[in-house]
Structure 1
Amino acid sequence: MAQTILVTNLGGPEVLKLAETSIPNPEPNEVTIRQTAIGVNYIDTYHRSGLYPVPQLPMTPGMEAVGIVTKIGGNIRNLRVGDRVCYGTGPLGSYAEYRTMPASTLLKVPDALNDNQVAGMMLAGLTSWYLIHQLRKLTDKDTVLFHAAAGSVGLIFCQWASALGVRVIGTVGSVEKAAIAKANGCEETILYKSESFSTRVKELTNERGVSVVYDGVGKDTFMESLDCLQKTGLMVSFGNSSGAPPSLDIGSLGPKGSLFVTRPSLFHYTDDRSSLEEASSALFARVQNNTIKVAVNHTYNLGQAANAHQALEARQTSGSVILEP
């Protein structure tokens, strides 16, 4: 039996309940892992609340973790019992002491990286990779705006982009978070609660605007973000922590400067093994050469998953949040 977080009814953090569940034996293409550290991400709150659909109830949230292989299916040749592995793109169900899952989703963990570090970086790091290298390849000629720059994705994105010579402007919710963002590659920060971020962006860019806005916040930032873009700029809406963005009149994009808008998903950029390995190899290399430092600033026991979600949704966190089984 294994300790597992189960959700039987969609709702607030209070629906996250600790339960005892059986551990399925692996099918031929699966492995069972004993998880040692589990990442908590905003997408987990979307699944818990029902904002994003889940296959069925009861369900276990969570998209990333690291652990040790304890059993392997009959067709598995590239993994052995005792291997340390991780994943950052699901499938859903990481809030558990043990889980059985497809071997194709797992990656071997470099020896130099510790468990909490890996659990706190996979989804955020893979997201940063596709935003920087695949969606629109950034160069040292770009100035970009990143909302929630002190969050788990923000801190990794800012370090990675700044290492490439990209100028990153970030929005944050407090002076403390501004200091964290600046220490992690964000050149300028904007306190969105006390000033208009679009006005400040124009001041910081001599009225030109930025080439790309990366918005994981949604409702509270989407429309004003369009006013931050330069001519033919790109608006990237990759999350909605404040709620879904309002409806957009596509005709408004022309007068604003022939703007582009996209709503991408990490899972379309890592849905084949070669892309997943390319992304993870790039991430592991950046962390091992200290271009990227992973800030695991909040750790909870598995049974405290509700507390972790409460802190995340109240915007009381910075960097990565971890559950320890």
Structure 2
Amino acid sequence: MARTVIIEEHGGPEVLKIVDRDVGEPAPGEIRIRHQACGLNFIDCYQRSGLYPMQLPHALGMEAAGVIEAVGDGVTHLSVGDRAAYAAALSGAYTEARVMPAAQVCKLPDGISAEEGAAMMLKGLTVQYLFHRTTPLRAGDTILFHAAAGGVGLIACQWARSEGLRLIGTAGSDEKCALALEHGADACINYATEDWPVRVRELTDGKGVDVVMDSIGKSTFGGSLDSLKPLGMMISFGNASGAVEAFNLGILAQKGCLKVTRPTLFAHIADPAVCREMAAMLFGKVLSGDVKIRIGQRFPLEQVADAHRALEARSTTGQTVLTL
């Protein structure tokens, strides 16, 4: 049996329940993993609220780290006793142990703790595809990155610095801006006190940025388009403020032949070999010291509702983990 967080209806954090569930044995292509820590992400809130509807009842959580307890037939990249971490499309990571497909589970190198592994997989692999699999980036390019002091943002700030990219961040307080700057942002704009699209133009001598990476969604989409230079790329990869509303595609031509994409991590890691290649690059960034995983908040599994409230209130910095 394993304590597991589930929802039986969509709603606020109050719908999160902890139940005991049978774990079972892995079938071919599966593993059983005993978790040591679980990561939290905005997608968990989207699934809980119903923005991303799920068949109910359903377990929540997309990333975790722990130790492999059993391996099904056909699994060759993992062995019993291996330390491992994952981000996986099949939710259910908020649990003490689970049986799951092995395809996206990666062996965790020595030198990276279980808490770091749980905190970094979904967010770090997201940064990897934003910087290396979405649009060509060259040293000297300028990126506007929203929520630069969040879990994805702090990794992105460091990743950009390690590759000679100029990252302009936005955040909701002076303290969060300072944190982004500390982690490698070239500049950070407090959107609570500044007209951030105007400030972006000032910081780029009126030219705009090459790429916007926007996980906020509805409230920032228009300003993000206004911050791009002609032929720039808008990467909308999240909906923290709500889903982006429908808009006239002709606006992209009017603003300088802009490009827009809406990627998801799970499309990128669907191929297990690609997933492990992406993870190897992420692990390399962390082991080299180019990227440090900052865990800003820890909640015991029993306080998962409080963790969701903190995440949705944007009162967190860096990564948040559930401890077991």
For normalisation by structure 2, the TM-score amounts to 0.98
Aligned to 1:252: 251
Between the aligned partners of 1:80 and 1:237, the Cα distance in structure 2 is 37
User: Any unmatched runs of 5+ in structure 1?
Assistant: none
Deviation at 1:74, TM superposition (A): 3.1
Aligned to 2:66: 67
Matches within 5 A, 1:262-301: 262-301=261-300
Aligned to 2:52: 52
SS of corresponding position for 1:95: coil
Between the aligned partners of 2:25 and 2:276, the Cα distance in structure 1 is 26
Aligned to 2:93: 94
Matches within 5 A, 1:12-161: 12-54=12-54, 56-161=55-160
Q: Percent identity?
A: 47
Between the aligned partners of 1:90 and 1:296, the Cα distance in structure 2 is 23
Match for 2:122: what amino acid? L
Between the aligned partners of 2:265 and 2:28, the Cα distance in structure 1 is 27
Deviation at 1:88, TM superposition (A): 1.4
Deviation at 1:75, TM superposition (A): 3.1
Match for 1:200: what amino acid? R
Between the aligned partners of 2:60 and 2:27, the Cα distance in structure 1 is 22
Q: Which moved more, 1:80-89 or 1:299-308?
A: 80-89
Q: What is the Cα-based RMSD across aligned positions, in Å?
A: 1.0
Matches within 5 A, 1:226-241: 226-241=225-240
Is the Cα contact below 8 Å between 1:162 and 1:185 reproduced in 2? yes
Between the aligned partners of 2:77 and 2:218, the Cα distance in structure 1 is 44
Matched residues, number: 324
Between the aligned partners of 1:278 and 1:29, the Cα distance in structure 2 is 19
Between the aligned partners of 1:33 and 1:274, the Cα distance in structure 2 is 20
Aligned to 2:214: 215
Is the Cα contact below 8 Å between 2:83 and 2:108 reproduced in 1? yes
- Provide, for residues 281-324 of structure 1, a one-character-per-residue CA deviation record: whole Å limited to 9, x for no partner: 00000000000000001001111110000000000001000001
Deviation at 1:236, TM superposition (A): 0.8
Between the aligned partners of 2:191 and 2:198, the Cα distance in structure 1 is 11
Is the Cα contact below 8 Å between 1:62 and 1:90 reproduced in 2? no
SS of corresponding position for 1:24: coil
Deviation at 1:215, TM superposition (A): 0.5
1:200 paired to 2:199: yes
Deviation at 1:30, TM superposition (A): 1.1
For normalisation by structure 1, the TM-score amounts to 0.98
User: Any unmatched runs of 5+ in structure 2?
Assistant: none
Match for 1:174: what amino acid? S
